[in-house]
Amino acid sequence: MKLADLYARSGLTLSVEFFPPKTEKGEENLFSEIEIIKRLNPGFCSVTYGAGGSTREKTVGLVETIHNVCGLEVMCHLTVVGQSKVEARGVLNLLKEKGIENVLALGGDPPQGMADWRPHPDGFHHAIDLVREAVALGCFSVGVAGFPECHPRATSRESDLIFLKEKVDAGAAVIITQLFFDNDDYFRFVDDLCKLHVTVPIVPGVLPILSAPQVRRFTTLCCSRIPEKLEKELAKVETDDNAAVEMGIEYASRQCEELIKFGVAGMHFYSLNKSYSVQAICKNLGL
């Protein structure tokens, strides 16, 4: 089922993001986790595209298995960086052949060793180029990324919002946000996009925290803020990952509760290939 139809249904559409594991053991573990996630009845699962297109084959392979073997709806992430236009079009055509209906069109993180983001010499420059390519094929529903705290490379918050609106105007059916820990940032983002007459679902990306050092690394990488109330909680679990997981479940549950009250169309969980926290949060929310 396409993203547009999934979010048009009544009720919350849950989605869960995975990354392609590096090892066979990791893959085995992932499929066990997916079986648990399946019981939560997610609208779809998504698979990341490694920085600089580094997991192209693995991503497409995993997307296909989740769709055809696990029997779940999927969305394949696809990025601009690190590949030529021909290669990007090749992936879209492959997904089309395999009957995959949903794509998340992204600029992409730079590959390891690339200090600054640079487009491939024969590649697209921005996510909007991929949106246009995917939409033109006529068989995809397309999602795009949104940044409640502004994208780190944006020249201004205003321009970032305008470029996002352009992606929606080019045919994107949904915006999925970067992780954030202060719902006020999300509420302001939605408000600003409403003022620009953006009407597609703006789905919050939720990260269940698994460890204090890890979340500090992530927030530094994606320039997200750790609000004071979370900083205090993190300080208590700095060296205890089990306690961090439980704190993360509690924090994300309160965050989601407020987002549901606000009326979000769905929630996108950054699962880090683990089902435990996602399952516990859904249980807390009565989902």
Q: Which of 163, 187, 218, 276 binds ligand FAD (CB under 6 A)?
A: 163
Determine the size of the site formed for ligand FAD (CB under 6 A). Answer: 24
Helix axes 127-137, 85-97, angle to 10 degrees: 40
The reply to whether 33 belongs to the active site is no
Q: Which one-letter amino acid corresponds to residue 277?
A: S
CA gyration radius, the chain:
18
The reply to whether 120 sits near ligand FAD by the rule CB under 6 A is no
The reply to whether 218 sits near ligand FAD by the rule CB under 6 A is no
Q: Which of 15, 79, 255, 279 binds ligand FAD (CB under 6 A)?
A: 79
Under 8 Å between Cβ of 105 and 134: yes
The reply to whether 174 sits near ligand FAD by the rule CB under 6 A is no
Q: 21-25 long-range contacts, Cβ below 8 Å, gap at least 24? A: 21/273
Within 35-54, which residues bind ligand FAD (CB under 6 A)?
A: 48-49, 51
Looking up tokens 């997991």 gives 55
Q: How many CA atoms lie within 13 A of 111 on its CB side?
A: 12
Q: How many CA atoms lie within 13 A of 231 on its CB side?
A: 6
Choose the catalytic residue: 17, 33, 64, 73.
17
Q: Which of 43, 108, 123, 208 binds ligand FAD (CB under 6 A)?
A: 108
Residues that bind ligand FAD (CB under 6 A): 48-49, 51, 77, 79, 104, 106-109, 126-128, 145, 151, 153-154, 159-160, 163, 176-178, 205
Which residues form the catalytic set? 17
